[in-house]
Amino acid sequence: MMDLAATARDLGRLAEIAAVLTRYGFGDFAQRLGLAHEVKGAADLLHLGRAERVRHALEELGPTFVKLGQLLATRVDLFDAEWIAEFEKLQDRAPASDARAVRAQLVEDLGAPPEEVFAAFEAEPIAAGSVAQVHRARLADGSVVAVKVRRPGIVPTIEADLSILARLAQLAETRLPALARFRPREVVRQLTRTLRGELDLAAECRSAERVAESFRDAPHIVVPRVYWGWTGERVNVQQFIDGVPSRDLAAVDAAGLDRKRLASRGAHAMLKMVLEDGFFHADPHPGNVFYLPGERIAFIDFGMTGRLSAVRRGQLVDLLAGLVGRDVDAVVDVLADWNAPARVDAEALAAEVEAFIDRYHGAPLGTLRANAMFTDLTHLLREQSLALPPDLALVLKVCVELESTGRELDPAFDMIGEGEPFLRAAIRERRGPLALARRGWQAAGLALDVLAGMPRDLRRLVRAARSGRLQVHVDLTALEAFGRVIDGAASRLTLGVVTAALIIGSSIVMTVQGGPLLFGLPLLGLAGFLAAAVGGVWLLVSVLKSGR
């Protein structure tokens, strides 16, 4: 019964998605995915641009799709500026949840009514997003805290949407080859990881404490304290940060804060998280950054974080070092590795990379603009139908936001100059004598393991060959679609031959005297013509539907 209910729910949601897509002028897209059988007009919305219509459709489809749009806003390697600008307009805001449902859930999670747990609790939320809402409260010792509560009943809805999106992404890659370069399945996997992480409010606090530990010797970086006694999957309690919002420059000046120092400290904090720690705040928009007296910077809301493995950081360093050192081959190798197993035109890519390097070679650091360089780099990737891995797409987006915020604070802010010491340190760590010796030792160990295991592997191979169990599998996925086309063509050809035979046979029967009659004509001949007509109509409809 549960499976039937889930299936019925998913079918209803699919119909809703198809209706929204059709309303915003994407009925053909919905049909090609098999979501809609009838396209109704959307003329009243067609005056909007394509990117704007997509943004409105995502807003109408609800929280999961809003999060999808926000994630796509980080994929500057896949979408041009017009689309990124529209995706960035998607606001993670929603009306407050039903107060009684929130209170009942808090009683379950806290073990008592919030009015008894806290010295004071504001029932009206101070902020409400699609996944959770935040209430202000006060502890017995006078500390002001933020109580973040997950929306009651939201998990089944989001899981259902994620399941549908996974199926739609698979359909999009198979039925719409033009969308393959956007890697829909990869995007949905990233969305699933991000949303499930945001649904676990305790995981957000663990991320916050991980960043706080990294900055324990940096008093100018503040991360809210977590109160674990009242924190779990559906609720967390953290220190309330009462500072100047980073978007309010007038308040920054009124508080007497040094803008230049704030820009530099913010840049250093983010660069340290990315290049040194490999774990960073992936959503440092103005609403998540506050300025405190003494030019301290507070980061809040660690629901969305990014991770860079040691291997990925090494690749990033190799890429940047290749760009700085004009090593075109090194840059091409890294980009090709990131896009494996897709075929890469190495010669065309090398030419584009060389032109990119020449464009900025020799320019004084103070004249370079990171955003312009990032724009040119992402344009290069799109021209070559390449994409960044999702974790690096987040890094690129963070760097773009970082320079934008830095220049708002200080028009002379030099993102590249701020990042140069971190890059040089990362290159030394990556290519220094100790690092090379360590990697050489690891490689030697792996080689010895392979050599030691080779006799055993050869023995197994020979044994399998002797017993007839040795099999070679060749996966020709590119031929699957071709096979379906051939199969459909063969079916139509067969039906056409049968229809022609029926027409010829029925014509002959009509000339033969005797046998049962209908309306004075041979019954068998009439039946043959009727069957031929049905087959002909089916064949015509099939050809028209195929579009070929």
**Separation in Å, CA 478 to CA 178, 473, 474, 475, 484:** 15, 15, 12, 9, 11
What's the CA angle centered on 206, arms 205 and 208, to 5 degrees?
60
pLDDT value, residue 5: 47
Residue of 330, 340, 331, 329 lying closest to 386 (CA atoms): 340
Asked if residue 507 and residue 404 are part of one domain, the reply reads no
Asked if residue 398 and residue 252 are part of one domain, the reply reads yes
Domain termination site, one of 195, 225, 240: 240
pLDDT value, residue 19: 82
pLDDT value, residue 170: 86
Parallel, antiparallel or unpaired: strands 296-299 and 221-222: parallel
pLDDT value, residue 529: 72
Rounded Cα–Cα distance for residues 208 and 288 (Å): 13
Return the biggest CA–CA distance within the chain: 110
Asked if residue 536 and residue 495 are part of one domain, the reply reads yes
Rounded Cα–Cα distance for residues 291 and 282 (Å): 18
For residue 279, what are the β-bridge partners?
A: 307
Rounded Cα–Cα distance for residues 452 and 186 (Å): 37
Q: Would residue 283 show up in a list of annotated catalytic residues for this protein? A: yes
Asked if residue 384 and residue 312 are part of one domain, the reply reads yes
Does residue 295 have a pLDDT over 90?
A: yes
Does residue 47 have a pLDDT over 50?
A: yes
Asked if residue 263 and residue 229 are part of one domain, the reply reads no
| Local confidence band at 37 (pLDDT 50, 70, 90 cut-offs) | very low
Asked if residue 455 and residue 315 are part of one domain, the reply reads no
Is there a domain that residue 78 lies in? no
For residue 136, what are the β-bridge partners?
A: 146
Peptide bond into 95 cis (omega under 30): no
Intra-chain end-to-end CA distance of the chain, in Å:
43
Rounded Cα–Cα distance for residues 509 and 507 (Å): 5
Asked if residue 236 and residue 102 are part of one domain, the reply reads yes
Give the tokens for residue 280. Answer: 């960073």
Give the tokens for residue 220. Answer: 């100018």
Torsional class of 278: left (φ above 0), alpha (ψ -120 to 50), beta (otherwise) = left
Is there a domain that residue 416 lies in? yes
Contact 178, 156 (CB under 8 A): no
pLDDT value, residue 34: 64
- Mean pLDDT over each residue of the chain, to the nearest integer: 81
Which has the minimum average pLDDT: 39-43, 335-339, 366-370, 390-394?
39-43
Domain termination site, one of 185, 205, 240: 240
Torsional class of 515: left (φ above 0), alpha (ψ -120 to 50), beta (otherwise) = left
Asked if residue 295 and residue 363 are part of one domain, the reply reads yes
**Separation in Å, CA 414 to CA 190, 272, 345:** 31, 16, 34
DSSP 118: S
Asked if residue 298 and residue 169 are part of one domain, the reply reads no
Is there a domain that residue 212 lies in? yes
Q: 33 or 154: whose pLDDT is higher?
A: 154
* 106-134: pLDDT as tens digits: 999 999 999 999 999 999 999 888 889 99
Percent pLDDT > 90 in the chain is 26
Asked if residue 191 and residue 306 are part of one domain, the reply reads no
The one-letter code for the residue type at 451 is: L
Q: In sequence order, what are the residues at sequence separation of 6 or more whose Cβ sits closer than 8 angstroms to the Cβ of residue 220? A: 265, 294, 295, 296, 297
Residue of 133, 416, 153 lying closest to 271 (CA atoms): 416
**Separation in Å, CA 429 to CA 158, 303, 318, 426:** 42, 30, 12, 5
Contact 25, 42 (CB under 8 A): yes
Give the tokens for residue 403. Answer: 């320079």
* 350-360: pLDDT as tens digits: 888 888 888 77
Is there a domain that residue 281 lies in? yes
Q: In sequence order, what are the residues at sequence separation of 6 or more whose Cβ sits closer than 8 angstroms to the Cβ of residue 501? A: none
Is there a domain that residue 86 lies in? no
CB count, 10 Å around CB of 439? 13
Asked if residue 264 and residue 224 are part of one domain, the reply reads no
pLDDT value, residue 133: 93
Domain termination site, one of 193, 221, 240: 240
Mean pLDDT, residues 248-257 taken together: 93
Asked if residue 199 and residue 322 are part of one domain, the reply reads no
pLDDT value, residue 474: 63
Structural Rg of the chain based on CA atoms: 31
For residue 517, what are the β-bridge partners?
A: 522
SS3 of 298, please?
Answer: strand
**Torsion 222-228-234-235 (CA) sign:** negative
Mean pLDDT, residues 489-514 taken together: 72
Rounded Cα–Cα distance for residues 520 and 278 (Å): 88
Residue with tokens 């040119």: 376
Is there a domain that residue 184 lies in? yes
Residue of 215, 285, 296, 288 lying closest to 262 (CA atoms): 296
* 64-121: pLDDT as tens digits: 888 888 888 888 778 888 888 888 888 767 788 999 999 999 999 999 999 999 999 9
Element counts in the chain: helices (H) and strands (E): 21, 13
Residue of 255, 290, 284 lying closest to 270 (CA atoms): 284
* 183-225: pLDDT as tens digits: 788 889 988 988 888 899 999 999 999 999 999 999 999 999 9
- Total number of domains in the chain: 4
Which has the minimum average pLDDT: 253-257, 268-272, 434-438, 476-480?
476-480
Is there a domain that residue 210 lies in? yes
Range of the domain at 188: 95-128+131-240
Displacement of CA 499 from its chain's centroid (Å): 50
pLDDT value, residue 385: 79
Residue with tokens 């040089």: 424
pLDDT value, residue 1: 40
Contact 61, 18 (CB under 8 A): no
pLDDT value, residue 328: 87
Burial code (b: 16+ CB inside 10 Å, e: under 16) for 508-522 equals ebeeeeeeeeeeeeb
| Local confidence band at 483 (pLDDT 50, 70, 90 cut-offs) | low
Mean pLDDT, residues 258-275 taken together: 92
Q: Which of 77, 92, 109, 283 is catalytic?
A: 283
